[in-house]
Chains A and B, each alone.
Chain A
Amino acid sequence: MSRLNVATVWLAGCSGCHMSFLDLDEWLLEFAELANVVYSPVASDTKVYPEGVDIALVEGGVANRDNLELILKVRARTRILVSFGDCAITANIPGMRNMLGGSEPVLRRAYLELADGSGALPQAPGLVPELLEQVLPVHQVVPVDVYLPGCPPSADRIRACLEPLLHGEWPVMEGAELIRFG
């Protein structure tokens, strides 16, 4: 069987899911035999999301314009999109800003109300991506094929999801070991 093209993507999350991925330790050597890592913040220098990706692990919610552009590109260029971790699936901690109701109160709170008197709202069009009004779970923006919950999902859980996919099978995601949130 030919090697699959695998990508990992980091949207609005803490990178903890990626750290957990690195916790796969020696299995990463087996993984490297089965897959080409074609795009990843922890395992590739490629800056542009490529065409023809077989499996993408997407960490984080969709929080700003960069996240939105990237996830649309990921969906268009990927066969199997895995929503990777609680932030991707529920918006989780980044999503707690949604309770403030929109991006403007969030920016005001962070840059003006909590500043020591010299605060200013960030304004750098084209450089600093604008916040979306709400942080959204990935599946509210694009269709998702597999859900891999956890904050972060443990290395064992990631392997239980990824290993069948690499062998052309669908993972059975059920039970506390595999789908418990948190």
Chain B
Amino acid sequence: MTVITLTIDGRSVATASGATLLEAARAGGSAIPTLCHLEGLSPVAACRLCLVEIDGDSRLQPACVTAAAEGMVVRTTSPRLAELRRTVIELLFTEGNHVCAICVANGHCELQDLAVAVGMDHSRLPYRFPSRSVDLSHPLFGLDHNRCILCTRCVRVCAEVEGAHVWDVGWRGEHCRIISGLDQPWGAVDACTDCGKCVQVCPTGALFHKGDGTEEKEGHPEQLQVLVRARQQGGAP
């Protein structure tokens, strides 16, 4: 294993060659906020919360998909990044219909937690209040598009871990949404194994168990990590 050394937030960090900036930063004690990223799934850099500043690069780079390189000088916090991260969260809140008070995930929601982390006490952007649907056709689970932030964790866990590839992303722009099968009702998609991994990794209340009431949904992404590590090591968890 080749070890490379770089500077993150003024600290010298040694990491394995091939590590991402996110892995190196977290190992070095820098807390970078993430939302679409989930250990055990491929990174897609969709949410843009993990953008960092790199010396010599005028553009911000997403830490989750940027390889750490020898001698890099990286900053994970700055007034510019703080402003940008708050704006990202405000965009997510105003783009959909996120009514925390009546949500199954209230109190256990990664979006709600990130709003606190970025200091969002109100949105400076106007709310869109889009008209969106809810799919309750599956016998066990529901999908509320109002609460979906298009992180695609569900798409990735179903394709990469469960191997069923029930989910995909359909349409474009403001019409963009998660679809099941060939844009069929979820309950009509034969490929679904009813495993519930998509529900476990969903960061908001968009995917939920039908029995969940307000505040009752708690995701368990760590179960995914146990499963993925066990597979990589070839043994039982």
Q: How far is the CA of A123 from the CA of B102 in the complex (A)?
A: 32
Given A176-B116, A182-B112, A89:B129 Cβ within 8 A: no
Question: Pick the contact of A89 from B121, B126, B146 — CB < 8 Å?
Answer: B121
B43 interface residue, CB < 8 Å from A? no
Q: How far is the CA of A73 from the CA of B132 in the complex (A)?
A: 36
Contact status B120-A96, CB under 8 Å: no
With a cutoff of 8 Å between Cβ atoms, the chain B residues found around residue A176 in the complex are: 113, 116
Q: How far is the CA of A4 from the CA of B139 in the complex (A)?
A: 58
Binds B, one of A21-29, A46-54, A133-141: A133-141
Closest chain B residue to A178 by CB distance? B121
Closest chain B residue to A88 by CB distance? B122
Number of interface residues of B (CB under 8 A): 25
Binds A, one of B24-32, B33-41, B64-72, B93-101: B93-101
Contact status A90-B116, CB under 8 Å: no
A108 interface residue, CB < 8 Å from B? no
A179 interface residue, CB < 8 Å from B? yes
- Which of chain B's residues 99-119 have a Cβ closer than 8 Å to chain A? 99-103, 106-107, 112-113, 115-116, 119
B131 interface residue, CB < 8 Å from A? yes
Contact status B100-A86, CB under 8 Å: yes
Looking at B121, B122, B129, which has the most chain A CB atoms within 10 Å of its CB?
A: B122
A34 interface residue, CB < 8 Å from B? no
Given A95-B127, A134-B129, A180:B101 Cβ within 8 A: no
Query: Interface on chain B toward A: helix, strand, loop, or mixed SS?
Result: loop
A92 interface residue, CB < 8 Å from B? yes
Contact status A93-B101, CB under 8 Å: yes
- For the complex formed, measure the closest distance between the CB of B83 and the CB atoms of chain A, giving whole angstroms: 15
Contact status B99-A149, CB under 8 Å: no
Contact status A181-B127, CB under 8 Å: no
Given A89-B122, A179-B119, A179-B121, A151:B101 Cβ within 8 A: yes
A124 interface residue, CB < 8 Å from B? no
Contact status A139-B129, CB under 8 Å: no
Closest chain B residue to A175 by CB distance? B116
Question: Pick the contact of B127 from A86, A91, A149, A179 — CB < 8 Å?
Answer: A91
A129 interface residue, CB < 8 Å from B? no
With a cutoff of 8 Å between Cβ atoms, the chain A residues found around residue B123 in the complex are: 90, 137
A10 interface residue, CB < 8 Å from B? no
- For the complex formed, measure the closest distance between the CB of B144 and the CB atoms of chain A, giving whole angstroms: 12
With a cutoff of 8 Å between Cβ atoms, the chain A residues found around residue B116 in the complex are: 174-176, 179-180
Contact status B119-A93, CB under 8 Å: no
B130 interface residue, CB < 8 Å from A? yes
- For the complex formed, measure the closest distance between the CB of A118 and the CB atoms of chain B, giving whole angstroms: 29
- Which of chain A's residues 85-117 have a Cβ closer than 8 Å to chain B? 86, 89-93, 95-96, 98-101
A83 interface residue, CB < 8 Å from B? yes
With a cutoff of 8 Å between Cβ atoms, the chain B residues found around residue A144 in the complex are: 122
A147 interface residue, CB < 8 Å from B? yes
With a cutoff of 8 Å between Cβ atoms, the chain B residues found around residue A131 in the complex are: none
With a cutoff of 8 Å between Cβ atoms, the chain A residues found around residue B119 in the complex are: 174, 179
A166 interface residue, CB < 8 Å from B? no
Q: List A residues at the B interface (Cβ < 8 Å).
A: 83, 86, 89-93, 95-96, 98-101, 134, 137, 139-140, 144, 147, 149, 151, 173-176, 179-182
List 17 A-B residue pairs with CB atoms under 8 Å apart, sorted by A's residue number: A89-B121, A89-B122, A90-B93, A91-B127, A95-B99, A96-B97, A99-B97, A100-B131, A101-B131, A137-B123, A147-B121, A151-B100, A174-B116, A179-B121, A180-B112, A180-B116, A182-B112
Q: List B residues at the A interface (Cβ < 8 Å).
A: 93, 97, 99-103, 106-107, 112-113, 115-116, 119-123, 126-127, 129-132, 146
